[in-house]
Structure 1
């Protein structure tokens, strides 16, 4: 368990990336390099990674990128026409969740993790506006491993913005961001090392129709 006071010293005041039609703030490194390395190594080996799946216009696709879905309860989360059921938190995920909640002031009940094996794996333009999520709820993104460019594009005026996500950094999207902005992780052949991204989310608990099994 890491010292919370040390975390508070590491995490600076956030920098505003987007301040209209939503809010995006970049906190920079919330972990020391050693802490970030430790979390990366543990998550890489202990998380129940699986190749992501998608069903797009009847075509079933399996990605090279791997994902995992964890939460307070066995929340269902559906995107790309595939439904995932949340696994119980691991100690490392709970610790990161607590750190993120302390820094942001928001409470999260689930986390989607992505493992990109190299820069050639990325994500196309999309928004996180699935019906399972609380509308306009905050999404906190923690980056571990390779530094990658993360881009935003406004749905209407097409303005684009990008930020380089550092190893051990925190970025928060909130308000109407998902309604007005798309985001992506552009692929690149310049990066050969892996990256783990954790997005802590707010699942609408009304979507749970069974008692907790945890």
Structure 2
């Protein structure tokens, strides 16, 4: 794909950004149609609400588990399928699931983590679509601690692949500058439970 020429990572992994990949009018119908939930998460012995709303959709009812939170899949709706198919065309990668995140304000966030759950395969490919408020997406190398910040504008597509989930952590930090909401759709290929390891 022609837009995947400038790797934003200096080593160990690939991250690409495509601006204006989607249209603003694709946002409004989605927010009201998705089955949002707010789970409880336990970190360092303390339990608190996940600081964002989430929804999980996938083929064949595939569930998704992270940080001991189990998310059962909802059925695809027309708008999500439309965006998924556009992402597949733009990236050349196949996706069968999406984790939707709604950051209601600058106070909502997602701390340092890797999308490296076993069901995502050896080298997960993550396609992240952003609508709404511009937020700063940060990556941090696990060994050198080198940090890279990327502004994610509305209607953009960020692709992470290769060793990126092994060598780098990423986060969306809270900010007092942002007061409007941001919808983030992270498309993945989730292996079925009976898929053999390659």
TM-score of the superposed pair, with normalisation by structure 2: 0.92
Following the alignment from structure 2 to structure 1, what is the Cα–Cα distance between the partners of residues 112 and 194? 26
Q: Secondary structure at the match of 1:26?
A: strand
**1:57-96 matched pairs, under 5 angstroms:** 59-96=46-83
Structure with the larger strand share: 1
**1:144-163 matched pairs, under 5 angstroms:** 144-163=131-150
1:118 match: 105
Give the CA deviation at 1:80.
1.2
1:24 match: 15
Following the alignment from structure 1 to structure 2, what is the Cα–Cα distance between the partners of residues 207 and 77? 14
Moved over 6 A (4+): none
Q: Which runs of 5+ in 1 are unaligned?
A: 1-10, 209-214
Report whether the alignment pairs 1:164 with 2:151.
yes
Measured on the aligned residues, the alpha-carbon RMSD in Å equals 1.7
Q: Could you list the per-position Cα deviations for residues 75-129 of structure 1 after superposition, in whole angstroms to 9, with x for gaps in the alignment? A: 1211111111111111011000000000000000000000001111111111000
The structure-2 alpha-carbon separation of the partners of 1:12 and 1:120, relative to structure 1 and needing over 3 Å to count, comes to farther
Following the alignment from structure 1 to structure 2, what is the Cα–Cα distance between the partners of residues 186 and 57? 19
The structure-2 alpha-carbon separation of the partners of 1:199 and 1:128, relative to structure 1 and needing over 3 Å to count, comes to same
Q: Which runs of 5+ in 2 are unaligned?
A: none
1:6 match: none
1:131 match: 118
How many residue pairs were aligned? 194
1:8 match: none
Report whether the alignment pairs 1:13 with 2:26.
no
**1:34-49 matched pairs, under 5 angstroms:** 35-36=23-24, 38-49=25-36
Q: Secondary structure at the match of 2:166?
A: helix
Q: Could you list the per-position Cα deviations for residues 37-60 of structure 1 after superposition, in whole angstroms to 9, with x for gaps in the alignment? A: x22111111101111332335644
Q: Could you list the per-position Cα deviations for residues 145-177 of structure 1 after superposition, in whole angstroms to 9, with x for gaps in the alignment? A: 000010000000000001100100000000111
